[in-house]
Amino acid sequence: MLNKIKLWKNQSQSSTLRERIEDIKKLPVPRHVAIIMDGNGRWAKKRALPRIAGHHAGMKVVRKTTKLANELGIEALTLYAFSTENWKRPKNEVEYLMKLPEEFLGTFLPELIEENVQVKMIGYKEQLPSHTLRAIEKAMEDTKNNDGMILNFALNYGSRAEILDAVKRVLNDCQEGIIDMNELNEDSFSSYLMTSELEDPDLLIRTSGEIRLSNFMLWQLAYTEFWFTEVLWPDFAEDHLIKAIEVFQKRQRRFGGV
């Protein structure tokens, strides 16, 4: 009897989730969603596990979130996987984090290809271990002809450094006569950023209860809608992404107007 009740509850929840997905698709969805995936370490600590166990659990959530985002018709999903400040973490944790792209893409890449997802990356490649870079570049090469959702990994990424580098390139191009300083505007400056091929995010999600940007897309998030949750990233479920988009769809975006 208990098993029958449990099965009925699961079927009911699944039916409700499916209905919410269909309702979301009737309204405009955010074209670009960015996620700060936070709380892996705390998730592991609560379970008396090493921090790397939290990162491994979080990797599985990336797969589920990517699949649902693609189904919802989101055009780009940017995941903050590793910041330029994360090198300060314990050596064994950093080494494990650098292995995750290999593990994730090694198992999930065929599915990404099949589902027409294109893999991209923003961040500083030069500091990445060769095995990490090989995994990312293989995924980018194997999916370059896909024209569906973009799965964009922010890996060894820091927004302040990105903006400073963009300023230096602008100054150089001005000195070389490539651009006229008086004609520089927000759009032309954005073309010097790592996200030049992407629209600015419509929705930012941050997990684990932290309410800050942590040096993530400081320029690009100027008019982005924010959604924060106490849920730790390894516990982030389909329901949470759906809820974030439902909230987004109820907001009025004025972009400084009335």
Q: pLDDT for 115-174, tens place per residue?
A: 999 999 999 999 999 999 999 999 999 999 999 999 999 999 999 999 999 999 999 999
Active site residue 86: yes
Tell me, what's the pLDDT at 7? Answer: 47
- Name the catalytic one among 10, 38, 147, 187: 38
Distance CA 155, CA 177 (A): 33
Tell me, what's the pLDDT at 14? Answer: 64
Active site residue 215: no
Distance of CA 80 to the CA centre of its chain: 5
Is pLDDT above 90 for 107?
Answer: yes
DSSP letter (8 states) at residue 201: P
Contact status, residue 100 vs residue 59, Cβ threshold 8 Å: yes
Is pLDDT above 90 for 16?
Answer: no
Q: Is 63 exposed, middle or buried (0-12, 13-18, 19+ CB in 10 A)?
A: middle
Segment 183-190 mean pLDDT: 96
Tell me, what's the pLDDT at 255? Answer: 66
Kindly state which CATH superfamily the domain 26-158+201-250 is placed in.
Decaprenyl diphosphate synthase-like (3.40.1180.10)
Cβ atoms within 10 Å of 130's Cβ, excluding its own:
7
Is pLDDT above 90 for 203?
Answer: yes
CB burial of 20-53 (b: ≥16 within 10 Å; e: otherwise) equals: bbeebeeeebbebbbbbbbbbbbbbeeeeeebbb
pTM: 0.92
- Name the catalytic one among 10, 23, 70, 86: 86
Distance CA 93, CA 56 (A): 11
